[in-house]
Structure 1
Amino acid sequence: MKAQRLGGWMTRFKRCIDAQVGAAVSEKVIVEPERFDATTDYVQKAEWIRNAVERLEKEAGKPAAKKVMQACGMKCCGPTQHKRVKQFMKESKSVEELLARLNERGIGGGRLELKDRNTIVGGYDRCYCGRVKQTREPFPTDTYCQCSTGWYKSLFEAAFGRPVKVRLKQSIIQGADSCEFEIEFD
């Protein structure tokens, strides 16, 4: 890739690709980034991302592409969210109380609930990702939305201080009415 300054999201995307699957892959995936950075048309941004994710899946394979997107989401959920969720956890006497605090503030979609002893379910009634929410064509796979699984993973690992597993059940940009997730913890 030519030495050029990439915008904030694009820089994070490239760094995640480089870290997970290598710079040679990012050179094949990040094609004409100036088209993405220069436009204010979010339909065009969504189209650029859909095409980039398809290239990423082709070059790295779907499992690795999903890891890249999850890594992006983990970086998106940063120190401010970690600090807040740790404080909420400290102030809570139970997981249910933590979820109530998060829901009151609309964090994580505002409808988190404990499904059973070790599983939280949650989701979004609208797509929160400004880069893709105005897509005109559904995304063909759930790879891009692994970014949200990474966000939830980062948030709840900060809260609990231990690993969690997050599964995407359905996605708005794939045509569903809502995004739905399951978060498993021990």
Structure 2
Amino acid sequence: MAKNDNAHAVRLVSSLVQTVGPEKAREFEETYPLSKSASIEKKFKWAQNVCDYLEQNFDPETVAIIRKACRCSDGKSNAAKLRKYLEQTDTIEDFVNAFNRHETFASLEYISDHKILFCYPECYCSCVKRVPQTLSETWCACTVGNAEETFRAVFHDGVRVTLRESIKTGADRCTLEVEW
């Protein structure tokens, strides 16, 4: 059997085990292995296969759960930055402005006192960012999981994140709506 030791593949298999069980996870792992040494083209093709497999085998809610658990980060470092700006300001609008003055990895847009947009100027996914082709929105659901963890650490429970657009689906930026 081919190696399946790429971090993206390991996270996906773990998420499949948790969400749909070990049998489905093993089936996927055997059909679509991905090694650490895979080329950028092979990683991109694997990501396409992931989207096709998930969309053909599971309902949209299950697909979202599976992909959200595949996040590359626990969001703690970004949450610490966001909390710092929130603690230094009196309003959400001031929080957004403070963040935007000091950070470049992302930007915030104020919508209301309980809703903002969290925007990335580029795709940060090491698995697909270097291939100039688009992918299904399914792939980008992992960033929803990352943003949920990040903003729960800032605003606590009741955070809802919705992917509005992503670079890998053809947009100019990745935009997530965050509501609490």
TM range (shorter): 0.7 to 0.9
Aligned residue pairs total 178
Distance between the aligned counterparts of 2:125 and 2:4, measured in 1? 23
Relative distance call for 1:102 and 1:16 in structure 2 (3 A) is farther
Query: 1:157 corresponds to which residue?
Result: 152
Query: 2:117 corresponds to which residue?
Result: 121
Q: How far apart are residue 161 of structure 1 and its match?
A: 1.5
Query: 2:133 corresponds to which residue?
Result: 137
SS in 1 for 2:69: helix
Q: Does 1:177 align with 2:176?
A: no
TM-score normalized with structure 2 length: 0.83
- Among residues 66, 69, 73, which one is paired with 2:67 in the alignment? 69
Q: CA RMSD in A?
A: 2.4
Query: 1:11 corresponds to which residue?
Result: 10
Distance between the aligned counterparts of 1:174 and 1:94, measured in 2? 33
SS in 2 for 1:130: coil
Paired letter, 1:173? K
Percent identity, please.
Answer: 24
Q: How far apart are residue 77 of structure 1 and its match?
A: 2.7
Q: How far apart are residue 24 of structure 1 and its match?
A: 1.9
Aligned counterparts, 1:45-60, within 5 A: 45-60=43-58
Gaps of 5+ in 1: none
Structure with greater helix share of residues: 1
Q: Does the 8 Å contact 2:74/2:146 carry over to 1?
A: yes
